[in-house]
Homo-oligomer: A and B are copies of this chain.
């Protein structure tokens, strides 16, 4: 099996355009053809034809009653195919449970991505009614504990564009972010205090694969009144332990999986 020529391809414009449509639809709302055309600056006739093509593949669906389009069922299937291969989840699950047991807060497992980390599993705190985690949800790099861990330990450079502000405490300055990432690196874990969402605090630890590269990120998050600095400090120990335990689990699994 040959390898390793880095793809620096000519892209297929119509496919790129189709993906742009999905960007618009990704927030869960329904949109009309013209609405999408306006938001993407693609000609409405083109949008109409692209949507029809995507609809034929089940990627989007046409809602007859409104004449608008939304994401289709096929995406459920595809999304789940992705989930199925993440055996990482199976390994990590008991540790997430242990974490919730120990901290009484919501525990999350995320995978580092290109620009943000993606939640692939979580266990809700028994005390939280409202869901604050969701599979597939992106963790913004500069404003979440998970994201900071990704920046600190993943092999990626810091974001260069504008840093979106979510609350008054969000780090929006590149210098400050670099310093914070350095702190995370030294301290070994990431932390946010109301930077992504008012009153939401979190800490997150890296999970390493057998090559000592960032494989995943585990985090604990909770509402400020309950999960304040004291509770966070108490949670650091258990979280670090469980993160390490998952790393060890990955090691075994990897070794088993190596077949050559």
Contact = CB atoms under 8 A, between A and B. Distances in A.
A81 interface: yes
Contacts of A12: 14, 18, 49-50, 53
Interface string A50-79: 111111111100101111101111011111
A28 interface: yes
Contacts of A83: 76
Contacts of A85: 28, 70
B7 A48 contact: yes
Nearest to A138: B77
A31 to B, nearest CB: 11
A86 B74 CA distance: 14
Contacts of A11: 49, 52-53, 56
A143 B230 CA distance: 57
Interface of A: 1-5, 7, 9-12, 14-16, 18-19, 22, 25-28, 32, 48-59, 62, 64-68, 70-73, 75-85, 111, 113-114, 118, 120, 134-138
